[in-house]
Amino acid sequence: MKNCSTFFFALSLLFAACQPAVERQDARPEKPNIIYIIADDLGYGDVGFNGQEKIATPNIDKLAEKGLIFTNHYSGTTVCAPSRSALMTGLHTGHTPIRGNYEIQPEGQYPLADSVETIFKVMKKAGYATGAFGKWGLGYPGSEGDPMNQGVDVFYGYNCQRIGHNYFPYHLWSNHDSVPLPGNAGKGTEQYGPELIHQQTLQFIEDNQEKPFFLYIPTIIPHAELVVPEERMAEYRGRFEEENPYQGVDDGPTYKLGGYMSQDHPRAAFAAMVELLDEQVGEIVAKLEELGLAENTIIIFTSDNGPHQEGGADPDFFNSNGPFKGYKRDLYEGGIHVPMVAYWPGTIQPGKTDHISAFWDVLPTFASIANEKIGTAIDGISFRPTLLGEEGQQEHDYLYWEFVEQGGKQAVRKGNWKAVRLGVKEDPNAPIELYDLVGDPAEEHNVAAEFPEVVQEMAAIMQEAHVPNAVFPLFQLQ
């Protein structure tokens, strides 16, 4: 009997000793919440952690300080809709269905087909509640591409990216319903779109705190119309000298339907918008902490493409593209090399990674984190091993982009080499520019003549990676 007591006492001690290990093992949730914040036309250099000096982004910088900074992350392409299509489908712009900004009147853009597998569909299969709050741009209301037909449980914001140019819109969409904003009727400026959307975003977190959720926040800040509510603008007016007033659209058929409002102080307005975005990021983190969800939630912050020059914006003044050449609509680094930070307190270790990644990697990464299979072939590679400090991170053989506007453009990154080809609509075999991104990150020195064998390899990749798309042709149709 004594031996039995001794045995059970020892067993109890052993069991007790094992308890902390069990708790540590369970500390990482099986299905963490995921929040993906994508700014609109925010340049690589527009955030403090990438060197911004004129605009304060303390909350975003705090994510970077405590999270993992991706120094070699790329958008889907250099304008809104196709960049988001690459994100949603895991396919680069030589394969993804939407490859340009194609307007559908009176409201919306060319739709993703319902047969396309998207991040939202994958996350729903994995048991996640899904929400999208901000700008959609991948299918007009009621179409196959409508967010409510693409796996989104809750949507609030702008269906149409053209109407998303305007910050005091006549209406926003709530799921299937167009919600009028009476405070913005006529020339009213009482209901600021990003603030309304932000409140709904926080409510989604409240409503889904008891289940895993995937929250997509495609904010319209700081897209081309440079406008904030007057009470905020008053704090910034006069901050910068030598402002050049912008004369925009303040009446007529495109007023609040795509035209950019005039702005006497565009630099001040831009700074105010970016700092408002930063405050909203801070409020999202605070909400997670308030609800006890912070250590159960991954936050990724990035931008859809490089900085714009419309609406009075002055990216050179703010050094918005950092060390890179080019802007929105360019396939040089300034148009597609975007800020990216991943934050998961207690799980993702702080630091930097030079892993080369792009928007089409987000779908397989989230699927891997959610332990869900992807049913179709994609171009993306999961960067989960990089996020979690695991072994076995797979690398891309190359990254490929195309842009169907401005005469047609193609670009390839392969290792340290970057190739850019312009004017391909007229000449699919137009000359290729070649840059060594390690020695020349600003793409100032075209070394194509010195490395003809690399140019030939890049030309072959461009031919291989481009699959023709009749709706968004890259080459002139014969």
Letter string b/e over residues 150-176, b meaning 16 or more CB atoms within 10 A of that residue's CB: bbbbbbbbbbbbbbbbbbbbbbbbeee
Q: What CATH number does residue 333 fall under?
A: 3.40.720.10
Token code pair at residue 4: 């039995």
> Which CATH number does the domain housing residue 459 bear?
3.30.1120.10
The residue out of 380, 396, 412 marking a domain boundary is 396
The predicted pLDDT at position 104 comes to 96
Residues belonging to the chain: 478
The verdict on 114 and 147 lying in the same domain is yes
In this structure, the answer to whether residues 137 and 211 fall within a common structural domain is: yes
Domain with 224 in it: 28-396
46 with 185, same domain: the answer is yes
**Residue 12 has what pLDDT?**
38
Does any domain span residue 8?
no
Q: Mark whether 194 and 116 lie in a shared domain.
A: yes
Question: How far apart, in Å, are the Cα atoms of 72 and each of 56, 202, 266?
Answer: 23, 30, 30
Q: What is the pLDDT of residue 19?
A: 35
CA atoms of 411 and 462, how far apart (whole Å): 8
Domain match, 380 and 440 both = no
Give yes or no: residues 391 and 408 share one domain: no
Residues whose CB falls within 8 Å of the CB of residue 17, separated by 6 or more in sequence, listed in order? none
191 and 238 co-located in one domain:
yes
- Give domain status of residue 284, yes or no: yes
- H-helix or E-strand spanning residue 297: strand 297-303
How many domains is the chain built from? Answer: 2
Strand, coil or helix: 414: strand
Q: What six digits make up the tokens of 11?
A: 């067993």
One domain for residues 323 and 347: yes
User: Is residue 269 one of the residues assigned to a domain?
Assistant: yes
Q: What is the pLDDT of residues 260-317, one digit of tens each?
A: 999 999 999 999 999 999 999 999 999 999 999 999 999 999 999 999 999 999 999 9
Confidence at residue 117, expressed as pLDDT on a 0 to 100 scale: 96
Instruction: Say if residues 281 and 261 touch (Cβ distance below 8 Å).
Output: no
Is 146 a domain residue? Answer: yes
End of a domain among 341, 371, 396? 396
Tokens of 322: 């950092």
Answer whether residue 23 is part of any domain: no
Look at residue 15 and tell me if it is in a domain: no
Residues of the chain with pLDDT under 50: 1-26, 478
Find out whether 331 and 78 touch, Cβ atoms under 8 Å: yes
Is residue 9 assigned to a domain? Answer: no
Helices (H), 177-321: 193-207, 230-236, 266-290, 315-318
- Last residue within a domain, chosen from 396, 425, 444: 396
Q: How far is CA 96 from the centre of its chain?
A: 16
Measured CA to CA, the distance from residue 216 to residue 361 in angstroms comes to: 16
Contacts for 333 with CB less than 8 Å, ≥ 6 apart: 44, 321, 324, 325, 326, 418, 437, 441, 442, 443
Separation CA 473–CA 441 (nearest Å): 30
Specify the DSSP element, H or E, that contains 432: strand 432-436
Per-residue pLDDT tens over the stretch 84-94: 999 999 999 99
CB 404 within 8 A of CB 100: yes
Same domain, 369 and 416: no
pTM, whole model, 2 decimals? 0.93
- 462: part of which helix (H) or strand (E)? helix 452-465
The single-letter code of the amino acid at 421 is R
Supply the pLDDT for residue 207.
Answer: 98
Question: Residues 37, 128: one domain?
Answer: yes
217 and 123 in a single domain? The answer is yes
Rounded-to-integer distance, Cα 467 and Cα 458, Å: 16
Res 407: pLDDT: 96
pLDDT of residue 477: 52
Asked if 323 and 437 sit in the same domain, the reply is no
DSSP letters, 317-355, are HHTTTTT----TT--SHHHHB--EEEE-TTTSPSEEEEE
**Tokens 């918005």 map to which residue?**
320
Does the residue 19 lie in any domain?
no
Tracing tokens 């892993």 back to the chain, one arrives at 355
